[in-house]
Amino acid sequence: MSLPVITEARRIDSGRLETRVLSHGPEDGVPVVFVHGNLSAATWFEETMMRLPDGFRAIAPDLRAYGEADPEAKVDATRGLKDLSDDLAALLAALDIEAAHFVGHSLGGAVLWQLLADHSGRVLSLTQVCPGSPFGFGGCLPDGGAAYPDGAGTGASAVNPEFAKMLASGDRGGETPFHTRNILNAFVWKPPFVPERMEDILDAALAQHTDEQDYPGDVKPSDNWPTVAAGDWGPINGMAPHRIDDPLGFTKGPTPPICWIRGSDDAIVADNSGFDLGALGAAGAVPGWPGAEVFPPQPMIAQTERALSAYEAAGGTVQRHVIEDCGHSPYLEKPGAFDTAFHAFLTNI
């Protein structure tokens, strides 16, 4: 499937990954790289890219395992999200860009924690939009450790199989709660909002790679609740807490400025996320939950705040913005409020 484009699109081979890269703005502009989240692709950022202030050049790749990236390139989840952060560094090298400002949404924000830890010289600033916790997603204790050492109840083992089936089918309908269209409208932005380019955004979501090693990824049997654990392949397995070897690694080197923007009513990255088996178990939605002492709801926002406080203690500066009446996608839902915070940050560094 060829995804719709309202910016400039070209294919770039960085030596690590051949993928579609969107761009907008003057060739000699200061580079701003947009990193999309799960169930997404570079398409989601196009209007935001086109609204950048004068003098900036927007660049947005389809990540490995998403959109029009090479379908043979898989994410080795045993490395956490390092495949994706290494891809971004390689893309900059291929474009002859020494360093750039980065914007990450959701999973893309989690990738940027890793990028800053491993490739800090490439980073001028980070704008983190509803980013995943630096400690991983789901099955994570308040102090940041994994609830189970094998990643049970995280990664692909926490993905609803009916939703995964619907996504892989490419069905654009909305007959069941598990249709991709309904998941987007119920969780990825706050109802009753629907993006003007809904069909293009749905195209980009349905372009997510759904090979066995992509989404949701493989699973392993486990003696721990819920009897399956995150496997070794795919970006969702790469977010499992036991795969994140140094969650605070980004606080231990150079400290470019960070801007954290989130929606007040985010249902995905939250202290009681509807996609965390700990929260679902506590609500009685998943049987056999072993209790809060073993598998608590992950305090995602509190963990990110703690990590950013450590970043400030190391000498970094952090801006925090909460956009009211807004869900998981502020740049789509509340573009005016988002741009006010983002542009002021970007132009005053």
Map out the domains of the chain as residue ranges. Answer: 8-347
What integer best gives the mean pLDDT of the chain?
98
Q: 8-347 domain in CATH 3.30.465.10?
A: no
Q: What percent of the chain has pLDDT over 70?
A: 100
Residue type, 84: L
pLDDT band at 23 (very low <50, low <70, confident <90, very high): very high
pLDDT band at 295 (very low <50, low <70, confident <90, very high): very high
Tokens of 299: 């305090």
CB environment 62-84: b (16+ within 10 A), e (fewer): bbbbbbbbbeebbbbbebbbbbb
| Cβ–Cβ < 8 Å for 66, 40 | yes
| More confident of the two residues 2 and 148 | 148
Average pLDDT for 264-281: 97
Average pLDDT for 317-331: 98
The per-residue pLDDT for range 68-98, each reduced to its tens digit, is: 999 999 999 999 999 999 999 999 999 999 9
The per-residue pLDDT for range 156-208, each reduced to its tens digit, is: 999 999 999 999 999 999 899 999 999 999 999 999 999 999 999 999 999 99
Look at residue 214 in the predicted model and tell me its pLDDT.
98
Nearest Cα residue to 79 out of 264, 305, 198, 237: 237
| Cβ–Cβ < 8 Å for 36, 44 | yes
User: pLDDT at residue 1 above 70?
Assistant: no
Helix (H) or strand (E) holding 56: strand 56-61
Look at residue 76 in the predicted model and tell me its pLDDT.
98
Average pLDDT for 115-132: 98
User: pLDDT at residue 225 above 70?
Assistant: yes
pLDDT band at 300 (very low <50, low <70, confident <90, very high): very high
